[in-house]
Amino acid sequence: MRIGHGYDSHRFAEDRALILAGVHIPDHAGLAGHSDADAVAHAVIDALLGAAAAGDVGTHFPPTDETWKDADSMDLLKRVVFVLEARNYQVVNVDVTVVCESPRIAPYAGDMRQRLGEALGIGPGAVSVKGKSNEGMGWIGAGEGLAAYAVVLIDSIGGFDGTWGATDEGLPL
């Protein structure tokens, strides 16, 4: 089993739709970014890739590559599941925290859990999404943008077999 931690943040942009975990949140400024700027999906991507020691979102989907311009981040997340499977890993569970003053996350958390669970192939029962305020402090508290944190657990497909990969020094990964 391996644990990964991911983080992403974006500034609000009035001319964009707000998409978090693949869910459109109406009547709110969106997020600035090269893709659809789904900070939740990006944090989960980074957590999954980190757990598998497979880089990060920018390594796999660089913002300098026009292929990923305005890309649906839930599609990127599905691609990362294939990266994990190619490395013989499966997703066990995901825990996400969105930090913002607005919008309120709770009304959308169930839909976000559903969308993430579908994309990851684990179902919403293995996904947690919650919102927290920054209590008016810092750039988030000033309403300039939001941040998302994700923690994931992955496991070898078929479960842990009692062996570890080795580095060049012969130590466990």
Q: What does the pLDDT look like over 97-147, one tens digit per residue? A: 999 999 999 999 999 999 999 999 999 999 999 999 999 999 999 999 999
pLDDT given at position 160 = 55
Cβ atoms 122, 108 nearer than 8 A: no
Mean pLDDT of the chain: 91
* Rg (alpha carbons) of the chain, rounded to whole number: 16
Cβ atoms 58, 8 nearer than 8 A: no
Residue 153: strand pairing partners = 3, 93
pLDDT given at position 169 = 47
Mean pLDDT of 51-79: 90
Please tell me the pTM assigned to this model.
Answer: 0.90
Measured in degrees and rounded to the nearest 5, phi and psi for residue 7 equal -145, 145
Residue 3: strand pairing partners = 153
Mean pLDDT of 9-22: 96
What is the percent of the chain where pLDDT is above 90? 80
pLDDT band at residue 159 using 50, 70 and 90 as cut-offs: low
Residue 172: strand pairing partners = 166
| CB burial readout 44-72, b (16+ within 10 A) else e | bbbbbbbbbebebbeebbeeeeeebeebe
The answer, yes or no, to whether the previous bond of 172 is cis (omega within 30 of 0) is: no
For the chain, list the domains and their CATH numbers.
2-156 (3.30.1330.50)
User: Which candidate, 86, 84, 103, places its Cα nearest to that of 44?
Assistant: 84
